[in-house]
Amino acid sequence: MKRIPALFVLMALLALLLFPWQSARAFDNPPPDNGRVIVGSSYTLKNGETLTDRLVVVGGSASLEAGSTLHGDLVVVGGSATLAKDAKIDGAVVIVGGGLILDTAIGGDVVVIGGPAKLQENAHVRGSLVTIGGTVQKADGARVDGDTVENVSPPISPTLPGDPAAPVVPQSDFSKPASFLMEAVKIVLNAVLLAALAALIALFLPAQLRRVGKTVTYQPLMAGGMGILTYVLFVVTVVALALFSVLIITLILTVPLLLVVILALVAGSVFGWLAIGTEAGERLAALSKREWPLAASAALGTFVLTLVTNSVATVPCVSWMLKVVVGLMGLGAVLMTRFGTQNAALTAAQPAIMVDSAALPPSAGE
């Protein structure tokens, strides 16, 4: 039995929409062979015909007559699917933007997005059934061996014309002392935890923290652009891995790779945030005209940076802006310096300050 996790199915749908499939504008069905991709027209697998691989239909509907055989997955985007009694499908069925009429057995999972799923009396889903934005209608005798996940959109109740109701002004969370107090505790606790992590990393990776922080200071625009590019490449990588997972069936390889990519992105984002906090802490320490240990400066700067950005989150319209800007610059600087292991390229107008000797804490350089 072939089972496809719902997460990879949904990511594969995006890949199918973006992938430049070659159009097959044939109004008559071509002779069946291996897997087929149909764009801009409907497709019918007739009685006695067999496809030995997947069938993908974009911008049309798919129909499998009684006696037809599909040894693979069925994916329909922008259309509906009708699977008649005695039609044979070994793989999964994914329908996006249309409905499904099922009256036969399916060897894998069934996912229907944006349309109803009608299971008639001969329907038998050996995997799971998932619907998003649609309903499930099961006739007597229809069976689903796996889980049934139904996401029904709430109906819109018609209203009679009349006097308009007075607008409801939502109350701010600040009017609720208990809620405000809990939010304040969460903000402070988050800042304390990140400050402690910054102090710990500063003890073991002082040069790397300083190198990344100086890169943000002297090349903020380039660091921010590199951060945006990193997120774009991350999305492309996730979509590519999802496409390989569904269409080539290599989950054993792609799932670990996907986890590694996600962990690398999280680690780079956190390290960049701590590096910016360390740079801010050193500047705050310089105002006191006293020499502070790097761990203390990193903890102070990270605490202040996190506290300020999280507090700004309570202000409407700018709740995400500061966090995004700081996060993009930090992540970009981490990539530019290879996690702080080498100096970033500087322009001729900038002083060459990011050297190994300057990156070490005062006590380590003696």
142 touches 119 (CB < 8 A):
yes
CA-to-CA distance for 307 and 185, rounded, in angstroms? 11
pLDDT confidence bin for 291, thresholds 50/70/90: confident
pLDDT one-digit tens code per residue, 316-333:
655 567 788 888 898 999
pLDDT of residue 170: 53
106 touches 87 (CB < 8 A):
no
CA-to-CA distance for 4 and 308, rounded, in angstroms? 43
DSSP-derived secondary structure for 300-345: HHHHHHHHHHHHHTTSTT-TTHHHHHHHHHHHHHHHHTTTTTSPPP
pLDDT confidence bin for 366, thresholds 50/70/90: very low
Q: Which of 78-82, 209-213, 269-273, 350-354 has the lowest mean pLDDT?
A: 350-354
Would you say residue 14 has pLDDT above 80? no
pLDDT of residue 348: 42
pLDDT confidence bin for 355, thresholds 50/70/90: very low
What average pLDDT does range 123-127 have in this prediction?
91
What average pLDDT does range 47-51 have in this prediction?
89
CA-to-CA distance for 26 and 188, rounded, in angstroms? 63
89 touches 110 (CB < 8 A):
no
pLDDT confidence bin for 344, thresholds 50/70/90: confident
Locate 288 and state its tokens.
């006191």
pLDDT of residue 125: 92
Q: Which of 13-17, 99-103, 332-336, 343-347 has the lowest mean pLDDT?
A: 13-17
pLDDT of residue 164: 55
pLDDT of residue 284: 84
Average pLDDT, the chain: 76
Q: Which of 71-85, 158-172, 214-228, 350-364 has the lowest mean pLDDT?
A: 350-364
What average pLDDT does range 37-56 have in this prediction?
86
Q: Which of 128-132, 164-168, 248-252, 278-282 has the lowest mean pLDDT?
A: 164-168
Would you say residue 186 has pLDDT above 60? yes
For residue 337, give the nearest of 219, 190, 201, 243 by alpha carbon: 219
45 touches 32 (CB < 8 A):
yes
Is the model more confident about 310 or about 108?
Answer: 108
pLDDT one-digit tens code per residue, 96-105:
888 899 999 9
pLDDT confidence bin for 181, thresholds 50/70/90: confident
pLDDT one-digit tens code per residue, 199-232:
899 889 999 989 998 998 888 899 889 999 998 9
**Longest pairwise C-alpha distance within the chain:** 87
Would you say residue 161 has pLDDT above 90? no
Is the model more confident about 132 or about 20?
Answer: 132
Is the model more confident about 291 or about 8?
Answer: 291
Domain boundaries, the chain: 6-151, 176-360
